[in-house]
């Protein structure tokens, strides 16, 4: 089913910012590799945000365990997989600029 919309079986992972801008974060990858790359990109953004917090600032964000974060994936009618952060407190989501990831089929 993962390859249903992709003739080549490859997908280009994109990071979609809240403002609507999107950029690819890699060249074409397999479905599983693309999902893994998107998750690692999201976790990297989270780690950077957490490190930039001033002491005592953002207690809700500072208390989030990184292993509790994930991306929930849904297949759209156009064949694009969309991943959105799951397990994130609202305070974290308000500070993260890239709220959605996409795997767009090639070919």
Report the chain's mean pLDDT, rounded to a whole number: 83
Distance CA 105, CA 6 (A): 5
Distance CA 15, CA 100 (A): 6
Distance CA 10, CA 16 (A): 19
Q: Mean pLDDT over residues 49-58, rounded?
A: 75
pLDDT digits (tens, 9 = 90+) for 2-36: 444 455 789 999 999 877 788 899 999 999 999 99
pLDDT at 3: 42
Closest CA to 6 of 82, 79, 81: 79
10 vs 99, higher pLDDT: 10
Q: Is 80 exceeded by the pLDDT of residue 86?
A: yes
pLDDT at 96: 75
Secondary structure class of 62 (helix, strand, coil):
helix
């Amino acid at each position: 089913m993962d390859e249903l919309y992709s003739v080549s079986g490859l997908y280009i992972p994109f990071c979609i910012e809240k403002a609507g801008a999107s950029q690819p974060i890699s060249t074409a990858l397999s479905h599983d590799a693309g999902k893994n790359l998107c998750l690692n990109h999201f976790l990297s953004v989270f780690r950077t945000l957490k490190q930039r917090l001033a002491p005592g600032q953002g207690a809700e964000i500072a208390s989030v365990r990184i292993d509790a974060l994930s991306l929930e994936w849904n297949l759209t009618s156009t064949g694009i997989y969309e991943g959105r952060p799951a397990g994130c407190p609202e305070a974290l989501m308000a500070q993260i600029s890239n709220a959605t990831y996409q795997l767009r089929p090639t070919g």
